[in-house]
Amino acid sequence: MLKKNVEQTRILIVDAKPADYLPVLSASDRLAICWQIYRSGSDALESAMAEGAHVCLINTRLPDMTGLELYRILRPRLRVIPVVLVADRYCPDDELAVLSAGTVHFVCKPLEPLFLEKILIVRPADRPAPASLGEKELLDVPQPKETTGAEP
């Protein structure tokens, strides 16, 4: 279950279509979450968006830049904040680029409240930020099967 200090959780969303997050936003009463929404990368850059945040959800396709570009610009400010890049639809190239950049997860819409709960179970202060893709555990990425060399 979620830790007791979740009532202080602040989640940032950078997406031109915040209505896509309604299923997750509806869980905010139960999870006691404070939301801050930006509709473009430039809006997010103009604010002090990383101050006091616990999780950041960034869409991969923003009106003025890609979510990956925004993440790379904000990475010094987001060092200990888990960043999840969210896609409107799945693209394997986007997934590889996003995870290689050091984000925590790559997910596709629609987001489910259960996913948010899983992200919030371990707060940023409880885990160090990953330095590279090789140093973090990717729970949702299937590993290739080993072969014995003999083909059936």
Tally Cβ neighbours within 10 Å of residue 65: 16
Is 113 in a helix, a strand, or coil? Answer: helix
CA 78 → CA 135, 142, 143, distances in Å? 18, 27, 28
The answer to whether residue 131 sits within a structural domain is no
Does 44 have pLDDT greater than 80? yes
| Beta strands 34-38; 55-59: pairing state | unpaired
Query: Against a cut of 0.75, is the pTM above it?
Result: no
Question: In the prediction, which pLDDT does 3 show?
Answer: 40
Domain that holds residue 106: 4-121
CATH code of residue 43: 3.40.50.2300
The answer to whether residue 72 sits within a structural domain is yes
Is 32 in a helix, a strand, or coil? Answer: coil
The answer to whether residue 99 sits within a structural domain is yes
The answer to whether residue 150 sits within a structural domain is no
Question: In the prediction, which pLDDT does 141 show?
Answer: 39
How many distinct structural domains can be found in the chain?
A: 1
Q: What is the largest CA-CA distance in the chain?
A: 59
CA 10 → CA 43, 45, 85, distances in Å? 18, 17, 17
- Give CA–CA dist 107/80, Å, rounded: 20
pLDDT tens readout for residues 65-124: 999 999 999 888 777 788 899 999 999 999 999 999 988 899 999 988 888 777 776 544
pLDDT above 90: percentage of residues in the chain:
35
The answer to whether residue 31 sits within a structural domain is yes
The answer to whether residue 149 sits within a structural domain is no
The answer to whether residue 130 sits within a structural domain is no
The answer to whether residue 140 sits within a structural domain is no
